[in-house]
Protein backbone atom coordinates (compact mmCIF):
# COMPACT_ATOMS: atom_id res chain seq x y z
CA UNK A 1 0.00 0.00 0.00
CA UNK A 2 1.45 3.34 -1.03
CA UNK A 3 1.46 6.15 1.40
CA UNK A 4 0.04 9.42 0.16
CA UNK A 5 1.76 12.49 1.55
CA UNK A 6 -0.28 14.60 3.92
CA UNK A 7 -0.39 18.35 3.45
CA UNK A 8 2.15 18.65 6.30
CA UNK A 9 4.82 16.41 4.76
CA UNK A 10 7.60 18.01 2.77
CA UNK A 11 8.12 16.55 -0.68
CA UNK A 12 11.54 15.95 -2.20
CA UNK A 13 10.99 18.75 -4.71
CA UNK A 14 10.17 21.13 -1.82
CA UNK A 15 13.41 20.10 -0.10
CA UNK A 16 15.29 20.73 -3.34
CA UNK A 17 13.71 24.18 -3.60
CA UNK A 18 14.55 25.05 -0.01
CA UNK A 19 18.19 23.96 -0.32
CA UNK A 20 18.53 25.67 -3.70
CA UNK A 21 17.32 28.96 -2.24
CA UNK A 22 19.68 28.60 0.74
CA UNK A 23 22.60 28.12 -1.64
CA UNK A 24 21.60 31.13 -3.78
CA UNK A 25 21.17 33.38 -0.75
CA UNK A 26 24.42 32.20 0.83
CA UNK A 27 26.37 32.84 -2.39
CA UNK A 28 24.72 36.24 -2.76
CA UNK A 29 25.42 37.19 0.85
CA UNK A 30 28.99 35.97 0.57
CA UNK A 31 29.62 37.91 -2.64
CA UNK A 32 28.18 41.06 -1.05
CA UNK A 33 30.24 40.89 2.14
CA UNK A 34 33.41 40.07 0.18
CA UNK A 35 32.77 42.98 -2.19
CA UNK A 36 32.14 45.28 0.78
CA UNK A 37 35.25 43.99 2.56
CA UNK A 38 37.51 44.45 -0.46
CA UNK A 39 35.84 47.63 -1.74
CA UNK A 40 36.38 51.30 -1.12
CA UNK A 41 36.89 51.93 2.60
CA UNK A 42 34.91 55.20 2.43
CA UNK A 43 31.77 53.28 1.37
CA UNK A 44 32.13 50.61 4.03
CA UNK A 45 30.23 52.14 6.92
CA UNK A 46 28.12 49.78 9.01
CA UNK A 47 24.92 51.47 7.83
CA UNK A 48 25.82 51.24 4.16
CA UNK A 49 27.05 47.67 4.58
CA UNK A 50 23.85 46.66 6.39
CA UNK A 51 21.66 48.27 3.71
CA UNK A 52 23.67 46.71 0.88
CA UNK A 53 23.49 43.22 2.40
CA UNK A 54 19.78 43.50 3.24
CA UNK A 55 18.80 44.87 -0.18
CA UNK A 56 20.96 42.36 -2.04
CA UNK A 57 19.56 39.36 -0.18
CA UNK A 58 15.98 40.65 -0.28
CA UNK A 59 16.43 41.26 -4.00
CA UNK A 60 17.61 37.72 -4.72
CA UNK A 61 14.87 36.16 -2.58
CA UNK A 62 12.21 38.32 -4.24
CA UNK A 63 13.55 37.26 -7.63
CA UNK A 64 13.44 33.62 -6.50
CA UNK A 65 9.81 33.99 -5.39
CA UNK A 66 8.84 35.58 -8.69
CA UNK A 67 10.79 32.95 -10.61
CA UNK A 68 9.01 30.10 -8.81
CA UNK A 69 5.58 31.61 -9.49
CA UNK A 70 6.42 32.30 -13.14
CA UNK A 71 7.84 28.81 -13.73
CA UNK A 72 4.78 27.27 -12.07
CA UNK A 73 2.56 29.24 -14.45
CA UNK A 74 4.67 28.19 -17.44
CA UNK A 75 4.75 24.48 -16.54
CA UNK A 76 1.31 23.94 -15.01
CA UNK A 77 -0.60 26.57 -17.03
CA UNK A 78 -2.32 27.98 -13.94
CA UNK A 79 -1.52 30.15 -10.94
CA UNK A 80 -0.20 28.21 -7.93
CA UNK A 81 -2.89 27.07 -5.49
CA UNK A 82 -2.80 28.21 -1.86
CA UNK A 83 -0.69 25.25 -0.69
CA UNK A 84 1.86 25.64 -3.51
CA UNK A 85 2.04 29.40 -3.00
CA UNK A 86 2.61 28.73 0.71
CA UNK A 87 5.45 26.32 -0.13
CA UNK A 88 7.01 28.90 -2.43
CA UNK A 89 6.72 31.58 0.26
CA UNK A 90 8.13 29.31 3.02
CA UNK A 91 11.00 28.28 0.78
CA UNK A 92 11.85 31.87 -0.05
CA UNK A 93 11.41 33.20 3.47
CA UNK A 94 13.33 30.26 4.94
CA UNK A 95 16.36 31.21 2.89
CA UNK A 96 16.35 34.62 4.57
CA UNK A 97 17.44 32.97 7.81
CA UNK A 98 20.99 32.87 6.44
CA UNK A 99 20.95 36.66 6.67
CA UNK A 100 20.48 36.80 10.46
CA UNK A 101 24.01 36.28 11.83
CA UNK A 102 25.82 38.39 9.21
CA UNK A 103 23.29 41.20 9.69
CA UNK A 104 23.72 41.03 13.48
CA UNK A 105 27.50 41.27 13.06
CA UNK A 106 27.14 44.38 10.91
CA UNK A 107 24.73 45.85 13.47
CA UNK A 108 27.32 45.12 16.17
CA UNK A 109 29.76 47.21 14.12
CA UNK A 110 27.16 49.99 13.94
CA UNK A 111 27.01 49.90 17.75
CA UNK A 112 30.85 50.03 17.87
CA UNK A 113 31.08 46.57 19.44
CA UNK A 114 33.44 45.43 16.64
CA UNK A 115 35.12 46.95 13.60
CA UNK A 116 33.18 46.78 10.33
CA UNK A 117 36.09 44.95 8.64
CA UNK A 118 35.94 42.26 11.33
CA UNK A 119 32.16 42.01 11.02
CA UNK A 120 32.39 41.57 7.24
CA UNK A 121 35.20 39.04 7.51
CA UNK A 122 33.31 36.94 10.08
CA UNK A 123 30.09 37.27 8.06
CA UNK A 124 31.96 35.91 5.04
CA UNK A 125 33.17 33.01 7.16
CA UNK A 126 29.61 32.29 8.24
CA UNK A 127 28.45 32.14 4.61
CA UNK A 128 31.36 29.86 3.67
CA UNK A 129 30.54 27.59 6.62
CA UNK A 130 26.87 27.49 5.61
CA UNK A 131 27.73 26.53 2.05
CA UNK A 132 30.20 23.90 3.25
CA UNK A 133 27.58 22.46 5.60
CA UNK A 134 24.98 22.25 2.82
CA UNK A 135 27.47 20.52 0.52
CA UNK A 136 28.64 18.15 3.27
CA UNK A 137 25.08 17.19 4.29
CA UNK A 138 24.13 16.64 0.66
CA UNK A 139 27.15 14.51 -0.16
CA UNK A 140 27.09 12.66 3.17
CA UNK A 141 23.60 11.31 2.61
CA UNK A 142 24.11 10.42 -1.05
CA UNK A 143 24.07 6.72 -1.95
CA UNK A 144 27.58 6.77 -3.41
CA UNK A 145 31.02 5.42 -2.44
CA UNK A 146 33.41 7.43 -0.26
CA UNK A 147 35.57 8.08 -3.33
CA UNK A 148 32.58 9.51 -5.17
CA UNK A 149 31.71 11.58 -2.08
CA UNK A 150 35.25 12.98 -1.95
CA UNK A 151 35.18 13.74 -5.68
CA UNK A 152 31.76 15.37 -5.35
CA UNK A 153 32.97 17.52 -2.44
CA UNK A 154 36.04 18.64 -4.41
CA UNK A 155 34.00 19.38 -7.52
CA UNK A 156 31.30 21.25 -5.60
CA UNK A 157 33.82 23.25 -3.60
CA UNK A 158 35.67 24.06 -6.83
CA UNK A 159 32.45 25.23 -8.45
CA UNK A 160 31.67 27.27 -5.34
CA UNK A 161 35.07 28.97 -5.44
CA UNK A 162 34.61 29.71 -9.16
CA UNK A 163 31.13 31.17 -8.57
CA UNK A 164 32.46 33.30 -5.73
CA UNK A 165 35.38 34.55 -7.84
CA UNK A 166 33.00 35.52 -10.65
CA UNK A 167 30.66 37.32 -8.24
CA UNK A 168 33.52 39.18 -6.58
CA UNK A 169 34.84 40.26 -9.98
CA UNK A 170 31.35 41.38 -10.97
CA UNK A 171 30.98 43.48 -7.80
CA UNK A 172 34.52 44.90 -7.86
Q: 107-123 pLDDT, tens per residue? A: 999 999 999 989 998 99
Distance, in Å, from the CA atom of 139 to the CA atom of 133, rounded to the nearest integer, reads 10
Contact 106, 123 (CB under 8 A): yes
Contact 44, 32 (CB under 8 A): no
DSSP 8-state code for residue 141: T
Distance, in Å, from the CA atom of 148 to the CA atom of 35, rounded to the nearest integer, reads 34
pTM: 0.81
Residue range 129-149, pLDDT digits in tens? 888 888 888 888 888 898 998
Q: What pLDDT is recorded for position 2?
A: 45
Q: What pLDDT is recorded for position 4?
A: 46
Spacing of C-alpha 24 from chain mean position: 4
Amino acid sequence: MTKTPSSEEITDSEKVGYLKERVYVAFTGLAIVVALYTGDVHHRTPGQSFATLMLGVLGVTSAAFASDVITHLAVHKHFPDVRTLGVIARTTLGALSSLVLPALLILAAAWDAIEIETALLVAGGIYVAELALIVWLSVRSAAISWQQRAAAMLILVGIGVAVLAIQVLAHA
